[in-house]
Amino acid sequence: MTLIEARPRILPALPEGLAKSAHEELEALGVRVLVTISVSEVTATTLKTKSSDDVHAHIKIRAAVVHGPGVPRDLDGFKPTRSNRLIVRQTLQTTRDDPIFAIVDCCFVRLDGAARPVPPRAQAANQMALTAYPNIRRLLANARPVSFVYRDRGSLVSTGRLSTVGSLMGNVIGGRPAMEGRLAHAAYLSLYRIHLIGIHDWFKGLAFIRVGHVSQVVRPTLKLHRERSRGRRLGP
């Protein structure tokens, strides 16, 4: 397996130390990680790169960057980025229309003093929602909206069933204590389950967790399909 990244490192939205740990963990699992390499052409059997370091593969998966929906391009009066994300102010209001808010994947916001925009991640989604909803109520009450404050509570990256690297509780105890291995993987699963319950409520969240356990037993690790000309699906 080969992982190709056009930028100088994988996971550019995460801290450099975490990205380095994930890089090393992937290589320990046997993954060939290539950085600062751009793909110029894809054929049936080859990924051709601009550096002439071609990669031969029959199965190719492209993981694109986060893009917003195409709707903002067709709306007058808005200011989208190249990735179709609406530029918003500190209050999460769009720059050209105060009553309209945008959050997470749909918005681009760089807070005061920050070198990078807020990353479109689950913890950012939760925090933005807790700011956008009260601000909408303030706007309806003719009150002044408050600024969004992003608190990075750490990051975990799963690189396998029992392999995870990351850092947690940086804002609670100071610094960024590193985690890896099974302890980090247990924390990853716990946070993911809490996220499911937060989205779907306790009943549906626990049902999804149970279905996930069953799927790990009855489903294969990797399942591929190809379509016949008549649209009938072949086996795995």
Of these ranges, 52-66, 100-114, 127-141, the one predicted with the greatest mean pLDDT is: 127-141
230 has a pLDDT exceeding 50: no
Q: Decide if 2-56 and 77-140 have a common fold.
A: yes
Residue 225 has pLDDT above 60, yes or no: no
Write down the pLDDT at residue 139.
94
In this predicted structure, which of 55-64, 71-80, 89-98, 128-137 has the lowest mean pLDDT? Answer: 71-80
Task: Give me the pLDDT at residue 107, please.
Answer: 87
- The whole-number average pLDDT for the span 164-187 is 58
Tens digit of each residue's pLDDT (9 = 90 or more) over 75-105: 777 788 888 888 899 999 998 888 999 998 8
Q: Name the most confidently modeled range: 9-13, 157-161, 213-217.
A: 9-13
pLDDT for 179 beyond 90: no
Q: pLDDT by residue (tens digit) across 105-117? A: 888 998 887 778 8
Higher pLDDT, 122 or 231: 122
Q: Over 50: is that where the pLDDT of 174 sits?
A: no
Per-residue pLDDT band at 231 (split at 50, 70, 90): very low
Length of the chain measured in residues: 236
**Higher local confidence (pLDDT), 157 or 37:** 37
Rounded mean pLDDT, 17-26? 83
For the ranges 75-79, 176-180, 185-189, 227-231, the lowest mean pLDDT is seen at 227-231
What average pLDDT does the chain have?
Answer: 78
**Do 80 and 69 form a contact (C-beta atoms < 8 A)?**
no
Angle at 147 between CA 146 and CA 153, to 5 degrees: 125
Statement: residue 170 has pLDDT above 90: no
The CATH class, in words, for 77-140 is alpha beta
CATH code for the part of the protein at 2-56: 3.50.50.60
pLDDT at 160: 64
Give the pLDDT of residue 95.
Answer: 87
Domain boundaries of the chain, sorted by first residue? 2-56, 77-140, 154-210
Q: Would you state the structure tokens that stand for residue 208, as one six-digit string? A: 């999804």
